[in-house]
Amino acid sequence: MLRSKKIITLSESEQALVKNGWGDDVLKSVELQKISYTSDGYIVDGYAAFPVNRSIKYPLIIWNRGGDEMSGRFDDFLAWGILGEIASWGYIVLASQYRDKDQFGGEELNDILNILKIGMQFEEFDGENVGVEGWSRGGMMTYQMLTRISFLKCAVIVAGLSNIQRNIGINENLNKKINLLTSDRKIEEYAVERSAVNFYDKISMDVPLILIHGTQDKKVSHKDSEEIYELLKQSGKENVELILIEGGDHYLRKDRKHVSEIRKNRFNKFLKLID
């Protein structure tokens, strides 16, 4: 249930940074709200971004962030830039900050499902077209989400974590996070439960899925996207696509415009039926 909402205004310096980083259209054509809502008895924070023009209805996109309770959370500036860019394409965008007691791929999945329910009640929503995007840990959450619901029109996963066991060996921060959540004896059990390579057969066959990953990602190996792609194809999922960005890092910094175009075209194709 939605508890509160507050329209966000940026300082002049923040506005200049948004304009420089994402463009003037993102700054002028978007309204950003900070929201709070209830999920499993927790009060959870989030953001909602809307096109300023409310005279028409819009598709809805759920954006799943990366990081954990110590990192990856939005502030107003980042929310405006990241979510506002998608909203400027003609979408309602909702993102959960996840509950404070973060299990890193556990029950906070319900925080995503509950914010989705809220978005589907917005009067600005077109009532039909819903997509999802997840980056890094948000990709892990998106894989889980796709085992629970099949009515989504498309899913985009960027640098998605699909094999925890592989990445705790290359990502020191991830290793520390998993060790805080588990004992050594339970790491393998934890990794199996939360890694999509172990539950790929439960991912919806109906939702078109595109995987984007940089080949020089030092936080989440691009092999994660390659492996889950092959597993999904072998299982008979035809509507899955893999795009590897040669030399791209975890955040695809040098390729941001190109990746934004891929994502925009994908959403337009499946949520607006624009080729």
Residue-by-residue DSSP string for 93-144:
EEEE---SS--SSSTTHHHHHHHHHHHTT-TTEEEEEEEEEEETHHHHHHHH
User: Which mean pLDDT values do the consecutive 10-residue runs of the chain (275 residues) have?
Assistant: 95 95 94 97 97 95 87 92 98 96 90 98 96 97 97 97 88 78 74 92 97 96 98 96 97 95 98 83
Give the pairing type, strands 2-7 and 30-39. antiparallel
Query: What pLDDT is attached to residue 96?
Result: 97
Query: What pLDDT is attached to residue 178?
Result: 77
**Structure letter (DSSP) for residue 63:** E
CB–CB of 74/66 below 8 Å?
no
- The span from the CA of 115 to the CA of 93, in Å, is 11
Range 81-85 contact pairs with CB under 8 angstroms and sequence separation of 24 or more: 81/17, 81/18, 81/21, 81/22, 81/26, 83/32, 83/47, 83/49, 84/18, 84/22, 84/26, 84/27, 84/30, 84/32, 84/49, 85/22, 85/23, 85/26, 85/260
- Close Cβ partners of 75 (under 8 Å, ≥ 6 residues apart): none
Neighbours of 78 (CB within 10 A): 16
Kindly report the backbone phi and psi dihedral angles of residue 250, in degrees, each rounded to the nearest multiple of 5, phi listed first: -60, -35
Query: What pLDDT is attached to residue 268?
Result: 98
Domains and CATH numbers, the chain: 2-271 (3.40.50.1820)
Residue 220, classed as helix, strand or coil, is: coil
Query: What pLDDT is attached to residue 32?
Result: 98
Q: What pTM did the predictor assign?
A: 0.95
Alpha-carbon distances, residue 13 vs 7, 18, 43, 77, 263 (angstroms): 18, 9, 31, 10, 28
Sign of CA dihedral 39, 2, 145, 251: negative
